[in-house]
């Protein structure tokens, strides 16, 4: 699928494009991006903008380097206003600010509310501009980078395509700043270990993400049927090529055989509240049958009925994320007291702690 075929696009713009050199907001790199959004809307395509940059935009108002998390939050509070004002100047149509924490995304009721809000904004031709709420987010509530946030928003908004802007022309087989013979991958059909190895650990001087987080975002998005592009946002030609139906960066092809939205949300967005450990050789965790109490060796953490939990084997290997049918308190009691009535006939089934329809294999 090319961008021209997309009905709904999520576009992620990083801090380095918003506030180069941490010297406040600048429109220089954003003009081409704004024109791209305008052209998409003129074609009848809907756009959701995920914009980093609040901390970088506000940093120049504070003397010296940030000495604390509290100071960074103050920078975000100051810079968020400047950033939204800049975007507003670039468009002749209304925009709306949506500030989120991971808690908003991993709580199912709030997640559904976000979906409804974005849908209502798009129906009224208002541009949603999403950013992590750095001012209030604690370490436990942070997504941490807007690449992964963009993938979550792409899923929540039922987008066809996700475009992630960076400072290189896509994913290369080796670091292009070091190796002159580095080759850009135009199309990636499957993100495997070899692809991950190409990402390295580079991080922008301005932002919090590197190619690694962009690959993580591509994994999340493509699993949910969303074509993902990593392009050079500093090169205005990138956006012209997209509008011509060409691929200026790396295209990660969407997985068309996708699971239900609830299972994908659980796998890629929800945070596990606890864990159940199963025997190493237990092959019942396969996503095709219920996980029963017979498989459980131990229960860790504190979770309630309906919470998302992690399923591991006793060696620590992550096997699945799932929705628990029982609380940790009850499961621990059952395991320690051995008080569950055993089946008295072949027609009775062992206690199902996780239903197969609520399992997301990892």
Helix, strand or coil for residue 89?
Answer: helix
247, two tokens: 């691929």
Taking the C-alpha atoms of residue 255 and residue 294, their distance in angstroms, rounded to an integer, is 34
Tens of pLDDT, residues 132-178: 888 886 665 567 788 999 999 999 999 999 999 998 899 998 888 88
pLDDT of 351 higher than 80: no
pLDDT at residue 284 in the model: 65
Give residue for tokens 């992690």: 310
* 305 CB neighbour count, 10 Å cutoff: 11
Q: How far apart are CA 309 and CA 328, in angstroms?
A: 10
CA distance 245 to 344: 64
Q: What is the mean pLDDT of the chain?
A: 87
Could you tell me the strand order of the sheet in which 127-132 lies? 95-100, 127-132, 46-51, 8-13, 161-166, 227-232, 250-252, 187-188
Q: Which alpha helices (H) appear in 224-327, and where do they start and end?
A: 236-243, 261-268
How confident is the model at residue 35, as a pLDDT?
Answer: 96
Burial of residue 221 (CB within 10 Å: 0-12, 13-18, 19+) is: buried
- pLDDT for the residue numbered 203: 43
Per-residue pLDDT tens over the stretch 301-347:
999 998 999 999 888 889 899 999 999 998 988 888 765 445 444 45
Tell me the β-bridge partners of 219: none
Domains present along the chain, CATH in parentheses: 3-263 (3.40.1160.10), 272-361 (2.30.130.10)
H/E element holding 192? Answer: none
Can you tell me the distance from the alpha carbon of 6 to that of 277, in angstroms, rounded to the nearest whole number? Answer: 42
27-44 pLDDT, tens per residue?
989 999 999 999 999 999
Query: Distance between CA atoms of 296 and 311, rounded to whole angstroms?
Result: 9
**Range scoring the smallest mean pLDDT among 15-19, 90-94, 126-130:** 15-19
pLDDT of residue 214: 93
The SS3 call for residue 129 is strand
- Tokens representing 11 are 């576009």
Own/partner contacts of 103-108, CB < 8 Å, gap of 24 or more, are 103/141, 105/143, 105/152, 105/156, 105/269, 106/269, 106/270, 106/271, 106/308, 108/265, 108/270
Q: How far apart are CA 139 and CA 134, in angstroms?
A: 10
């Amino acid at each position: 699928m090319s961008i021209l075929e997309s009905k709904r696009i999520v576009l992620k713009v990083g801090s380095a494009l918003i506030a180069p050199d941490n010297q406040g907001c600048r429109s220089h790199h954003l003009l081409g991006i704004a024109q791209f959004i305008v052209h998409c809307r003129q074609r009848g395509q809907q756009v959701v903008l995920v914009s980093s940059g609040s901390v970088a935009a506000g940093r120049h108002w504070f003397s010296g380097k940030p000495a604390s998390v509290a100071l960074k939050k103050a920078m975000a509070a100051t810079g968020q206003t400047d950033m939204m004002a800049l975007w507003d100047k670039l468009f002749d149509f209304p925009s709306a600010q949506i500030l989120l924490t991971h808690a908003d995304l991993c709580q199912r009721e709030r997640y559904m509310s976000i979906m409804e809000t974005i849908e209502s904004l798009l129906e009224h031709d208002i541009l949603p501009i999403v950013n992590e709420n750095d001012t209030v987010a604690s370490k436990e509530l942070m997504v941490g980078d807007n690449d992964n946030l963009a993938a979550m928003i792409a899923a929540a908004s039922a987008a066809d395509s996700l475009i992630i802007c960076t400072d290189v022309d896509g994913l290369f087989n080796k670091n292009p700043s070091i190796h002159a013979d580095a080759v850009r991958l135009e199309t990636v059909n499957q993100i495997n270990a070899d692809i991950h190895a190409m990402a390295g650990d580079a991080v922008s001087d301005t932002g919090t993400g590197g190619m690694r987080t962009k690959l993580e975002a591509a994994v999340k998005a493509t699993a949910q049927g969303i074509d993902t592009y990593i392009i050079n946002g500093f090169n205005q030609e990138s956006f012209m090529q997209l509008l011509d139906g060409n691929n200026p960066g790396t295209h990660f092809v969407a997985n068309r055989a996708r699971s239900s939205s609830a299972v994908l949300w659980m796998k890629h967005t929800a945070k596990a509240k606890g864990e159940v450990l199963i025997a190493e050789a237990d092959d019942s965790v396969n996503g095709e049958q219920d996980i029963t109490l017979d498989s459980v060796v131990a229960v860790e953490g504190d979770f309630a009925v309906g919470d998302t939990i992690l399923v591991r084997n006793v060696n620590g290997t992550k096997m699945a994320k799932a929705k628990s049918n029982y609380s940790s308190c009850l499961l621990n009691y059952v395991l320690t007291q051995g008080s569950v009535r055993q089946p008295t006939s072949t027609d009775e089934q062992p206690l199902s702690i996780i239903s197969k329809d609520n399992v997301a294999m990892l």
